[in-house]
Amino acid sequence: MRNRKAIYTLLSLLVAVGFYLYENYNPQSPTIVSIDGFNYLPSSTTGQIIQHKNYSLSYNELYEQAEWVAYELEISHLTYEDRRRPYFINDPKVITGSANYKNYKKSGYDRGHLCPAGDRRFSKEAYDETFFTSNITPQKNDFNAGIWNRLEMKTRYWAKRNKHLYIITGGILNKNLPTIGYEDVAVPEYFYKIILDYTEPEIKAIAFLFPHKESKNHLSNFIVSIDDIEKLTNIDFFPSIPDNLESKLEAKSSSENWKF
C-alpha cells in the first residue's frame, strides 16, 4: 500500500510538471537566439529565466525583482502609438511568484520599468507585457523621470542610428538593501544598463552604472566597463560571444563609436 501511494504521488507530480510546461509553452514565443542566430542572454544567478514574447528576464526571488531584463531593440520597434496603460499584474510565468504591485503603494517609490513600455509600443501585446511586476523595480520619481529616462531616450536614438541593439538592464542586488511592502521588495542603490551593437563590421558595447538618485551630469559621466558590472552582480553578460571579442568589449569604459 505504501509503495502504491508513493507511485501515485510521483505520477501526480509528473502530471503537474507536465501540465505546467504545457501551459507555459508558446510556439510563437522567440527563443533565446535572436533572428541573426546570436544568443544574447546573460547567465542567471538564480536559474529562473523567464522568456516572454518580447523580452526575457532572470527573476531573483530573494529581492522580489529581476536581476536582469534583456530584449532586442530594432529601429522598427520605435513607433509612437498612444497605448492605454494597463494595470500592473503578477507575472504568471514566475514559479516563485512575482511581487504584487501593492507593495509599492504609499512607499514613495515609482514602479520603475526595466524594459521600458516606450520601447514596446509597436503592439498592444508587447506594450502590455511590460506591465508584469517582474519587469518593475522601486525607483525614486526624480531618478525614474530624470537621468534614467534620459538614458532610455538616448538608447532609442542609438537604435535609430544602429538599426538593431541588445539591451540588458537591472538593479544591483546585494544584501542589506532597504525594502518596501509586505513582500520586502529590495530597493537597489545602483542601476545599470548595457547596450550591445552586434552588427559587423563595427561591433561595440557601452555600459552605464547610476547611483539611485537624480543627476544633471552628462550621461557619459556614468560610463563603466561591463567587467565592472559583472564584478558587482556575479553575472556573465555575454557568455556566447567569442572569448577574445568578449574580453575586448567588456573591458572598455569609453563612449568610442557611440554618438551622444
Q: Catalytic residue positions?
A: 113
Q: 3-state SS string over 29-68?
A: CCCCECCCCCECCCCCCCCCEEECCCCEEEEECCCCEEEE
Going by C-beta distance under 8 Å and a sequence separation of 6 or more, which residues neighbour residue 145? 110
Kind plus residue range of the DSSP H or E element containing 188: none
Q: Which of 201, 191, 121, 198 is nearest to 156 (CA)?
A: 121
Cβ atoms of 73 and 167 within 8 Å: the answer is yes
Burial 37-70 (b: 16+ CB within 10 A, else e): eeebbbbbbeebbbbbebbbbbbbeebbbbbbbb
